[in-house]
Structure 1
Amino acid sequence: MGHGWEGVVLKLFRGKDFEFTVTGTEDVTEHYRRLHLTDGGMLALTGVHPTMWVRLWFDHAGKSHQRAYTLVNPDPDSGTFSLEFALHDGRASDWARKAAPGDTIEATLQGTGFETPEPQPSRLLAIGDAAALPALNSLLAALPGVPATIWFETQHAEDHDLDLRLDPALHELHRVERRASGAHLVDEVKAALPALVQDPADVYVWITCDTTTTRALASYVRKELNVPKHRVHALGYWRPEKR
């Protein structure tokens, strides 16, 4: 399948193409699905780093569209990993719902990367939701020993059952019900952050929510709390898809 102008751009930036094969599936909850895959030789070639992600290609009305997903438990020796899908309306979720062992999907690796914040922060402040769960877990594992305060937005009752890999001695979790298209989360985080950001240069803020929420919180953290740009990671992980 050709990947249109997006594929051309990724090729110009030396994106590497692979084909993944589904080997197993798990319905974690009604709204969250995990797929197990082989990597088509990717991990042996590229290695692994925290929060590593790939672009998957989905067909919609004859056109190819890419969506990014974080690798879960990547294993270069076996050439395997898992992907987790917070299910909603959209072509990626449609594919994940139907995926079965033997199915294949094309993928491109380009743009992924991770740099451990230096100097190490005194506290990690992380805001995300089910779509960001794999990245949040990978981030926490990449910063062992760093205390963290985490706001996790939930859309469904079953989201409370999702596997956040927390260390009770280090990690403080706040679950926030999604209301008003994310505005409730924004209000909750804004109310709590000033007391936690005593030294803006000594924290690390990770924001991975829907695009609108991410923009609002990133702007607040940078402009109102004066956290330096290099101490903030902000990336909108999803937006409602047009069918």
Structure 2
Amino acid sequence: MGVAKGWEGVVLKLLRGKDFTFTVTGAEQVTEHYRRVHLSDGGLLAAAGESLHPTMWVRVWFESEGKPHQRAYTLVDPDPAAGTFTLEFALHDGVASRWARDAKPGDTIDATVHGTGFTAPAPAPERLLVIGDAASLPAINSLLDAFPQTPATIWLETQHDSDAGLPVRVDAARHEVRRVRRGGSALVEEVKAQLPALIDDPASAYVWLACDTTTTRTLTAYLRKELALPKQRVNGLGYWRAA
């Protein structure tokens, strides 16, 4: 039986969100705090057709104490021919993480597709400038996959020692990962100190960032106001709220 989605589900349905049911086919523990769950797509990828795009995400529904909760997750390695994909979870104390820890083959989970999109920067950037953390790592990897020949510098905020084993899809010849330990404003300070040297022309630079809401807002304002990057050259997404 699917999760009763409450008022959020009603709103998404009014906005023409499409519902699907995914089935777990397997799971693997990547690190102590990062888990990968493999799923069959319930017809999602066939329905998406040509609209399947880099960083595509779905709203997944979880139930806790009889109440519905929705969280957004990026599709990892979607295979339309097989009708499969993977979701990756940065584990913490929450309803989605509890579900991921317990997921086993045959389990089902409901999801709604609405509002996802990606516009490739034009002109194409000479270098991707990417800022994120474990929660946005699936989207970061999807972005790197979408630009296979483009160099990239990635600032990756980490929290645990085991984050050294996070599955960052980098090619040492083209990609540089700068890991920043989470704490206070460390990520903001590192980016402000290092990123300007990598921008020759604000009009052709491209920055993709997805961190906690506060960090994303702070860095987006910095990029737009202080570094003068045009709106279309900054893609900022607040993935989660710090407690």
Give the letter aligned to residue 154 of structure 1.
Answer: T
Contact 2:75-2:138 at 8 Å conserved across structures: yes
Measured against aligned partners, the alpha-carbon deviations of 1:122-172 in whole angstroms (never above 9, x if no partner) come to: 221100111111100110111122221110111111111111111222211
Alignment of 1:18-167 (within 5 A): 18-47=20-49, 48-167=52-171
Taking the aligned partners of 1:116 and 1:23, their CA distance within structure 2 comes to 32
Contact 1:23-1:36 at 8 Å conserved across structures: yes
Taking the aligned partners of 2:88 and 2:115, their CA distance within structure 1 comes to 19
Kindly state the Cα deviation for residue 228 of structure 1 after the two structures are TM-superposed. 0.7
Kindly state the Cα deviation for residue 211 of structure 1 after the two structures are TM-superposed. 1.2
Taking the aligned partners of 1:163 and 1:91, their CA distance within structure 2 comes to 23
**TM-score relative to the length of structure 2:** 0.95
Other-structure match for 1:236: 238
- Show structure 2 runs of 5+ residues with no match: none
Kindly state the Cα deviation for residue 94 of structure 1 after the two structures are TM-superposed. 1.2
Taking the aligned partners of 1:124 and 1:234, their CA distance within structure 2 comes to 13
Give the letter aligned to residue 27 of structure 2.
Answer: T
Kindly state the Cα deviation for residue 64 of structure 1 after the two structures are TM-superposed. 1.1
**TM-score relative to the length of structure 1:** 0.95
Taking the aligned partners of 1:50 and 1:194, their CA distance within structure 2 comes to 26
3-state SS of the aligned residue for 2:62?
strand
Give the letter aligned to residue 185 of structure 1.
Answer: L
Taking the aligned partners of 1:186 and 1:45, their CA distance within structure 2 comes to 39
Other-structure match for 1:217: 219
Give the letter aligned to residue 114 of structure 1.
Answer: F
Other-structure match for 1:169: 173
Taking the aligned partners of 2:177 and 2:27, their CA distance within structure 1 comes to 28
Contact 2:213-2:242 at 8 Å conserved across structures: no
Other-structure match for 1:208: 210
Kindly state the Cα deviation for residue 32 of structure 1 after the two structures are TM-superposed. 0.4
How many corresponding residue pairs? 239
Taking the aligned partners of 1:225 and 1:133, their CA distance within structure 2 comes to 25
Alignment of 1:6-17 (within 5 A): 6-17=8-19
Kindly state the Cα deviation for residue 2 of structure 1 after the two structures are TM-superposed. 2.5
- Show structure 1 runs of 5+ residues with no match: none
Measured against aligned partners, the alpha-carbon deviations of 1:70-103 in whole angstroms (never above 9, x if no partner) come to: 0111111111111000001211111111111111
